[in-house]
Amino acid sequence: MNDPIQLNPKLPEVNATKKTIHLTTFLGGICLLATAALASVNAWTAPIIAQREEDTRQAGYLALLDLESSSGYNIDQTEAISSSLSTVGVTKMTIFYEENTVNVFGLIYDVSTTGWEAGLNFQVGFKAGLYSGFNNVSNGETPNIGRIFINDFDAILTGLSADDISVVNDAVNAYLTSRTLSLTFANVTREVIVDALEVMAQDYLGRIAS
């Protein structure tokens, strides 16, 4: 009589282990391909995004003062940034003087700071004692909260007096209460911007008074 066939009880475990190794290797390969593809896309889009931001910034120097060209003005971008301005994120000032005079026609402040998210970059213009505009250069704010507020902020700010920050706060409060409740979370970004506005306004008013 033939001996019964002895089955190897470990064989299924070996096969299962091989399948696990193959699956892990496959998934690892997919992750590597996805990472490489994302890096390639970022490398391609980053210069385009950077150029778009720079174009927005350059356009702001005239648009914020309602100018079509710089003809008739002397422009100074060499002023040192004071510690108070630097603290609120000001990186550069652009002063427009009436040609061949020391009379300040307008002033643009470039700001780079952090709101709810890092990467909040904007410009603020001053002219004739007023806020002459707000230019949203780039930001990483939440699309349906802070970003809406920033996109609308030029309309809120333009034309307000630079000598009373409470006027700005009143305008912002009126805006927020007229929108959905979720926009109250934009207050983090609002405080950063308004604090910067107050310091910039003081600097600007000191320059046109001297």
> How many alpha carbons fall within 13 Å on the CB side of residue 176?
20
Residue 88 lies in a domain: yes
- Write out pLDDT tens, residues 14-27: 555 555 556 666 66
- Write out pLDDT tens, residues 56-105: 999 999 999 999 999 999 999 998 999 999 999 999 999 999 999 999 99
Q: Mean pLDDT of all residues in the chain?
A: 86
Number of domains comprising the chain: 1
Window from 51-65, 84-98, 112-126, 177-191 with minimum mean pLDDT? 177-191
- Print the domain residue range for 161: 64-209
Is residue 198 scored above 90 in pLDDT? yes
As a whole number, mean pLDDT of residues 2-10 equals 52
Is residue 187 scored above 90 in pLDDT? no
The Cα 110–Cα 107 span in angstroms is: 10
Residue 205 lies in a domain: yes
Residue 11 lies in a domain: no
Stated pTM of the model: 0.78
Q: Report the pLDDT value the prediction gives residue 3, as an integer from 0 to 100.
A: 56
> How many alpha carbons fall within 13 Å on the CB side of residue 166?
0
- Which of 144, 155, 133 has the alpha carbon at shortest distance from 186? 144
Listed in sequence order, the residues at least 6 apart from 121 whose beta carbon sits closer than 8 Å to its beta carbon are: 53, 57, 110, 111, 112, 113, 137, 138, 139
Residue 2 lies in a domain: no
Residue 31 lies in a domain: no
Residues 182, 144 contacting (CB under 8 angstroms): yes
Residue 37 lies in a domain: no
In terms of DSSP bridges, do strands 104-114 and 73-76 run parallel, antiparallel, or are they unpaired? unpaired
Residue 174 lies in a domain: yes
